[in-house]
Structure 1
């Protein structure tokens, strides 16, 4: 079976284009990074994503505030590989960070926790790196990995049973973004959308009674998809409680 000239041209186009696409997906972007101080070198529990203490300790405290990558909160929970461009002071691989806050510096994309910033440095070079204050870096998006953790739904502390519910999703693996959250309204037999309150926090007044079924819209692949989270939150939910979805969003 032979190929027509048109088929050869199409195959050649794919062979040339595919490596270029793979390279572009893995390419690093040049930027700048600085750091913020905290007593324990971890993140802050009052970050703009609304994660609370999770935002302080997730990823062993290697977290970051971001500016343009914040994306009105949609970028919360995204993971990036960040490496600085001072070879004599910085390790080659850099550090993997989780976005837990909004932060602006001197033309920076990243405001790293003290622990994350120190992990950019070679052994015994952290103090010298901190003296720069702001450093040139390059970064790329990477899949988040949380071995041993499913996606969790936390009932935000500002929730008031039963008239007001706010939730935030934790330990979201992969490279996807959550762009919508809905709750099943049994008496009307329809999905009811939650409001994007701020950061990664979704809320609604007068939520349905009983155990709550959620679905989330996930983007990041070829097209958005809906993933259902069945009976995640019990009928008598409590503010501050965290519930296991038993699934993960890869």
Structure 2
């Protein structure tokens, strides 16, 4: 298959080269017939066939541009192609009609039309450059930060972004002690849920959070906000009340960090009677 592809590409390049050479010869003779002098006759074919090549390249560059810009370039390429075909056909017809005479003779209208090709090509090339500058080629790729975020493995240290699943009751999470204060608060959290449902109608409306994701507060500020939360059942620190007090101020908090705040507040509460005595 690679060898076949290479052969096809070689054939395309060969056919394109031969076609350009034949058209170049005919258009150069037309340049002599419209009285272009000297070495400039060799440049006349490039104005027509070269414009076709430039237009095709411009279409590739503008493949993501608005359809009006692409339609304009297609019109220029089509006009240049029709002009080249017409000039080649006219060259052959006139030579066949005047085979007995030396040289190629054209009527006044044809000479004037062919002479107008050069300034028209100049104007078209300049405007084509402006269109390409206005609509540069764009690549539909993800931004670097977004691509990096998609392929980045989940971090185990940023607990505010994505919190791990809470272990089922009676099942210890990996890397945690067998008995934790969280397990002791399971029944108390159920009581807190009932209390929250009972007082939901009288609870004040939370202030609206500012738009966008807010950065998490430092641990000292989270502890200070947690101390303002009411205690749960049996006079113990309630996870739900602590979370509500923190989120009411617009701060996000993950489960692991909430557990740490709750444990610290409970430790302070357990030490309070000892210090008071």
The alignment's TM-score, normalised by the length of structure 2, stands at: 0.18
Q: Which has the higher contact order (CA 8 A, sep 6+)?
A: 1
Structure with the higher fraction of residues in helix conformation: 2
Larger-Rg structure: 2
